[in-house]
Structure 1
Amino acid sequence: MTENATLRQPYSVLVVIYKKSKDFLLIQRADDANFWQSVTGGIDEGEKPLETAYRELLEETGIDARALGITIREHHKTNQYAIREQWRYRYQDGALINTEHVFSICVPDDTAPLLDPNEHTDFIWLTQQQAAEKAWSPSNRDEILNL
């Protein structure tokens, strides 16, 4: 196995989480306190984007959509953005642009995330406009506003 086999491919998912009341969930990254986001995560080798969305939702928030009988909605849309320079070491050599597959899920109003403290330190439910303003990445902001 080469070193590159363990590095991330430049493909990920974005899962926007909201309640019927239209409050949106944002989570704070452990490695950057100013970085608030929806659920995101890299697509593993051989994994389909929808599988990644379910996996990342569970890993990052403790929300088990399948156990709750909730379907993650696939938007059949991708965004592309430049990989932050300080994170490029995590990716395969030469990866500068990431392709993000967009998903969303509407969860029950009483949903309380259980965060992995190695990845995220806090969460907040905000109105659609507030969440769009607080989200760090432009693609995350746009997808919140598109729902």
Structure 2
Amino acid sequence: MTYKQPISTLIVVHTSDLKVLLIERADRPGFWQSVTGSIELGEQIEETAARELAEETGFTPNDGELTNWHIQNQYEIYETWRHRYAPGVTSNTEHVFGFKLPTTKPVTLAAKEHISYRWVNWETAAEVVFSPSNREAILLLGKKLNT
């Protein structure tokens, strides 16, 4: 078995007027999140962000503006997903990115990973996501608008 690397990306996909894309996990219906994914061997973190964005939404960096926010979160991997990592690995380092589109667009989901999507205002998105680090990133996006 090939284990996931405990280094990942979180990409907050949003429009200029701060509509945020949320995608619902296939393995946990009701769990809404932004785009996420683990680094693969030999990748730079920016390459991971672009790959995961394309895999999970169908968007490429040419469709909008992909920006590394230079924020890293360290968190404990949820017990339910630890089997994906090497034995003894319990924490992950997450690199936060934003992806700005001019307006909402249809999304092409990775069928094995996500079952639906929706565009919502940033306040609603922050309330709905299950991950605390995802919530913090969306709140940061909202603060950028108000500064």
In which range does the TM-score fall when normalised by the shorter chain?
over 0.9
Instruction: Tell me the equivalent position of 2:140.
Output: 146
| Greater Cα shift, 51-60 or 79-88 | 79-88
Instruction: Tell me the equivalent position of 1:45.
Output: 41
Question: Which segments of 5 or more consecutive residues in structure 2 lack a partner in the other structure?
Answer: 142-147
**Equivalent in 85, 97, 100 of residue 79 of structure 2:** 85
| Count of aligned positions | 141
Q: How does 1:121-136 map to 2 (within 5 A)?
A: 121-136=115-130
Q: Is the 8 A contact 2:65 2:101 kept in 1?
A: no
Percent of aligned positions with the same letter in both sequences?
46
Q: Distance in 2 between matches of 1:126 and 1:71?
A: 19
Instruction: Tell me the equivalent position of 2:144.
Output: none
Q: TM-score, normalised by structure 1?
A: 0.92
Q: Distance in 2 between matches of 1:62 and 1:115?
A: 7
Q: Is the 8 A contact 1:10 1:92 kept in 2?
A: no
RMSD of Structure 2 on Structure 1 (CA): 1.0
Question: Which segments of 5 or more consecutive residues in structure 1 lack a partner in the other structure?
Answer: none
- Could you list the runs of 4 or more consecutive aligned residues of structure 1 that deviate by over 3 angstroms after TM superposition? none
TM-fit CA distance, 1:137? 0.2
Superposed CA offset, 1:33-81 (max 9, x none): 1210000000001211110000000000011223x3x331001110011
Instruction: Tell me the equivalent position of 2:27.
Output: 31
